[in-house]
Amino acid sequence: MTATRIGLLVAAVVMVTVPLWVPGDYYISVCSQILIYAIFALSVDVLLGYAGLVSLGHAGLFGLASYTVAVCLGAGFGHVAAIAAAIGLTLAGTAVFAALSLRTTGIGFIMITLALGQIAWGLAYRWVSVTNGDNGLSVAHRPAPFGFQLDAPSHFYYATVVVFVLAVLATWIFVHSPFGASLKGTRDQPRRMNALGYHVWLIRFYACLFSGFLVAVAGILFVYYTEFVSPPTVSLTSSAEPVLMVISGGSGTLFGPIVGAILIEIVKNVASAYITRWNMMLGAIFVAIIMFMPEGLVPGTMQLVRQLLKARTKTVATVEPTSSGPVP
Amino acid sequence: MTALSIQKLEKSFGGLRVTRGLDLVVAPGERRLIIGPNGAGKTTLFNLVTGELRPDAGSVTLFDQELTRLPSRRRAHLGLSRTYQIITLFPKDTLLRNVTLSLLGLSHLRWNPLLRLDRQHALIAQAEAALSRVGLGHLAHRPLAETSYGERRRVEIAMALAQNPRVLLLDEPFAGLSVDERRDVKTLLFAIPRDVTIVMIEHDMDIALDFAERITVMHFGEVVVEGTRVEVVADPRTKEIYLGE
């Protein structure tokens, strides 16, 4: 069994047994939140890590999904209709975001997504007749898929695990597909890809749609998790958070955004209970990551392990001939 | 029918005219060499032909098909392939992945988000064959970053040939190579079948003149001399451009 398979097995066992060993409902809910943000960070990583496009407007799409569910449920629609509408509207919103932002790359892309995210925040804040402004919207009850009530934190956690695993699997298939290879090519050499026959713009556009789908899933889970949505969900800070998760965990990897989400959510929700200046601590962690593992925690750790193994192999190779050689 | 026909091509960057009413006709199967001093507009000409730059005026046709308004990616699908003066590859990937990406560019598979690329055995076999053709089959799984400059040049050629081009544009394929590497690349280029028309920019006259049947001398964005090797070498304008006489 390879190290990756062992790691996956351990992760699966840990995830499934969380409600058994995590003390209390609060911490189970924190675990649900980690998984939701991990999906959010994965959606950002599809663009940042695999397409080389940094979006600072993803919270706008995340909020669009959350608000759509809340508005639809408030209007008397069922959960299936609300979820379908949230996915549909978020994909349409992503298409608009992408059509406007993909006119450029680099700093230009960042600035356009930032502006679009701020427009979404402005709408959430000011379109009071729909969003209820500052007061936000509440969701009366969570769904009960196949009769499985999600009201208990552990039940909701398990539902989140299922969605999370599906999201990770979908992303894994996506990035290992021919389309994923094309996307990575457009990140590394867009000019070359064009000359090789690829439609660079369209590849990036489809990648945005896939990212939009993932962010819609995260936004839907989020509104059911908090049973409430308000303008801070759509703010710039909410857009920056998953970007930081991706950068700290390691962009262009599947596990990097997940590790980043675990790190940031634990500091935000657990360490903050014990440390008043937890923001400062988070900043110090980021600085340390950038200084010692600039490519992120996951690739950095893997590189460290490789170096240690290499050093160990070298030591063994140096020692062996001496021990087996002739005695003078 | 001509393989590549360029007529009255014009391109300016601000006040600088880099291509001045340039005409060029290349016959099918021909080996054409383009020479000229630095700044003559040779690479710009390639960029105009491949669509990476849009001409201000004039036309480009490939086997009588108008290309002038087509985007770069469409030209690749019509059989136009190129290599770059400054090596432009995918440094994080293996040699095999580089060539696979080249093949994928012309395949409908490139849009597929559901299949696993490493299980596309037919495509990968083609990529391995393309690498073997340039003598790099044994390095297929090596990351590009761990290869020599000469090997990267050959990867560029493998990527271009993998697309089965009708017209191949080679931009200084011998630049920066050692004597041994030049010999290898020369052998490789001589082995390309005649159904591929080759237009090459090169400064190494010994190799290039051996290879080319017709030569075009460019200067300040214009064609100054054109003809066979003997005609071009004998033309006083060639000496004037190169030696300043």
Return the CATH number at B10.
Answer: 3.40.50.300
Query: Is B84 a domain residue?
Result: no
| Same-domain pairing of B27 and B66 | yes
- Cα dist from A24 to A21, A27, A29, A151, whole Å: 9, 6, 9, 15
| Same-domain pairing of B15 and B67 | yes
Contact at CB, B90 and A191, closer than 8 angstroms = no
| Same-domain pairing of B142 and B174 | no
> Tell me, what amino acid is at B183?
R
* Averaged pLDDT score across all residues of chain B: 92
Minimal Cβ distance to B104: which of A176, A178, A188: A178
| Same-domain pairing of B71 and B130 | no
> Tell me, what amino acid is at B239?
K
Please check whether residue A179 touches B, CB under 8 A: yes
Query: Is B48 a domain residue?
Result: yes
Instruction: Name the token pair of B98.
Output: 């580089």
> How many angstroms separate the CA atoms of A86 and A75, rounded?
14
Q: What is the pLDDT of residue B244?
A: 65
Domain end: B105, B135, B163, which one? B163
Q: What is the pLDDT of residue A1?
A: 62
- Cα dist from B155 to A111, B94, B147, B216, whole Å: 37, 10, 10, 27
Quick one: closest CA in A to B106, which residue? Answer: A197
Q: What is the pLDDT of residue A56?
A: 96
CB A142 within 8 A of CB A151: yes
Domain end: B110, B144, B163, which one? B163
Distance from CA of A324 to the nearest CA of B (A): 34
Residue A153, C-beta contacts closer than 8 angstroms, at least 6 positions apart: A19, A25, A28, A29, A32
Distance from CA of B70 to the nearest CA of A (A): 12
| Same-domain pairing of B47 and B2 | yes
Size of interface A-B (CB pairs under 8 A): 87
Query: Is B47 a domain residue?
Result: yes
Please check whether residue B122 touches A, CB under 8 A: no
Quick one: three-class SS letters along A51-92? CCCCCCCHHHHHHHHHHHHHHHHHCCCCHHHHHHHHHHHHHH
Contact at CB, B76 and A195, closer than 8 angstroms = yes
Annotated domain spans of chain A: 27-317
| Same-domain pairing of B75 and B172 | yes
| Same-domain pairing of B12 and B75 | yes
| Same-domain pairing of B244 and B169 | yes
Residue B221 has pLDDT above 70, yes or no: yes
> How many angstroms separate the CA atoms of B162 and A323, rounded?
52
Host domain of residue B66: 1-79+165-245
Q: How many domains does chain B have?
A: 2
What separation, in Å, do the N-terminal and C-terminal C-alpha atoms of chain B show? 38
Q: Which residue matches tokens 């080319």? A: B212
Please check whether residue B94 touches A, CB under 8 A: no
Q: What is the pLDDT of residue B42?
A: 93
What is the DSSP code string of B160-216?
HHHT--SEEEEESTTTT--HHHHHHHHHHHHTS-TTSEEEEE-S-HHHHHHH-SEEE
Average pLDDT over residues B111-127: 96
| Same-domain pairing of B122 and B27 | no
Helix and strand element counts for chain B (H, E): 9, 10
Q: HSE on the CB side for B65, CA within 13 Å?
A: 12
A199: left (phi over 0), alpha (psi -120 to 50) or beta: beta
Q: What is the pLDDT of residue B158?
A: 95
What is the DSSP code string of A225-287?
HHSEE-GGGGSHHHHHHHHHHHHHH-TTSSHHHHHHHHHHHHIIIIIHHH-TTHHHHHHHHHH
| Same-domain pairing of B149 and B174 | no
Q: What is the DSSP letter of B94?
A: B
Residue B242 has pLDDT above 80, yes or no: no
Q: What is the DSSP letter of B110?
A: G
Query: Is B85 a domain residue?
Result: no
Cβ neighbours of A198 in B, within 8 Å: 73, 105, 110
Minimal Cβ distance to A196: which of B102, B115, B117: B102
Cβ neighbours of A204 in B, within 8 Å: none
Q: Which residues of chain A have pLDDT under 70?
A: 1, 320-328
Q: Cα-flanking dihedrals φ and ψ of residue B13, to 5°?
A: -110, 100
CATH of the domain spanning A27-317: 1.10.3470
| Same-domain pairing of B236 and B175 | yes
Please check whether residue B85 touches A, CB under 8 A: no
Q: What is the pLDDT of residue B208?
A: 79
Minimal Cβ distance to A192: which of B88, B97, B106: B88
